Amino acid sequence: MTTLDPTLARLFVHPITIERREVREDSAGGQIVRWRTVGETLGRISSPTISTPTEIRIALSGETSVPYYAYVPPDTDIRRGDRLDDGDRKHSVTSVTVFSVRAYLRAECSEYQEEIPSRAPTESEE
């Protein structure tokens, strides 16, 4: 495990669970999707910030979502597509930035929304 700079270590105090999507075929020709815990780490997930008038206008228009950023130790196994659970919310990882000086990793995230399971149509819908 990488030793963190003490200045950064004091910021990485919140437990974060890293989950990875697992897809399996079922016996009926469909798929079973579940999230498997692949690790836990201490880190920090920042709240989204909107500071410029342009960012405020875009956010209020609903044209885009404002990203969250997760900061974790540099040896954390985190990938695009993973889901982070900080105990309050779940976040989908959209990208991971590895800096040339490996002090930490930064994962850009969006707030995770549960998928609605599909169902067979009822007789009245057919």
Q: Write out pLDDT tens, residues 51-82.
A: 677 766 766 666 566 678 999 999 999 999 99
Q: How far apart are CA 36 and CA 83, in angstroms?
A: 10
Q: How far apart are CA 111 and CA 75, in angstroms?
A: 24
> If you average pLDDT over residues 19-34, what whole number do you get?
90
Architecture of the domain delimited by 6-113: Beta Barrel (2.40)
What is the C-alpha R_g of the chain? 18
Please tell me whether the overall predicted TM-score, pTM, comes out greater than 0.95 for this model: no
- CB burial of residue 100 (10 Å; 0-12, 13-18, 19+): exposed
**Residue 106 pLDDT:** 94
pLDDT band per the 50, 70, 90 thresholds, residue 36: very high
